[in-house]
């Protein structure tokens, strides 16, 4: 006779941790919105890209639980982020070139 014991492990964070992450994301979003009202000059686009990348990493790491999974999954998402940033920069540079 065998007895199967099933152990459950907590996968993720507590509710307070998720609230802290949400507040951090809200603060970064407020900074992004402030770029519309405050003149950042030539730092406008790099500031937005950096804030976008930080928010992406936070959402992917915590809300999609990749921080607690195999590192291979994280690298797949980060490679996609890098590719998206490169494509976006190339697209923006072509619009600037033709204007």
Q: Which residue has the higher pLDDT, 70 or 97?
A: 70
- In the predicted model, what is the mean pLDDT of residues 2-26? 76
pLDDT at 6 (0 to 100): 53
d(CA 97, CA 93): 6
pLDDT at 93 (0 to 100): 84
pLDDT at 11 (0 to 100): 63
d(CA 51, CA 26): 11
- Give me the half-sphere count of Cα atoms (radius 13 Å) on the Cβ side of residue 95: 6
Instruction: Give me the helices (H) in the chain, please.
Output: 15-37, 44-58, 71-98
pLDDT one-digit tens code per residue, 33-82: 999 899 888 888 889 999 999 999 898 888 887 777 788 888 888 899 89
What backbone torsions phi and psi does residue 10 show, to the nearest 5 degrees?
A: -75, 125
């Amino acid at each position: 006779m065998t007895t199967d014991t099933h152990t459950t492990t907590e996968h993720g964070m507590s509710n307070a941790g998720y609230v802290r992450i949400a507040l951090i994301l809200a603060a970064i979003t407020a900074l992004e919105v402030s770029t519309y009202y405050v003149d950042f000059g030539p730092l406008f686009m790099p500031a937005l890209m950096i804030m976008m990348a930080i928010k992406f990493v936070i959402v992917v790491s915590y809300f999609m639980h990749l921080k607690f999974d195999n590192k291979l999954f994280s690298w797949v998402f980060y490679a996609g982020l890098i590719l998206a940033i490169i494509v976006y920069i190339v697209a923006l540079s072509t619009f600037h070139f033709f204007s």
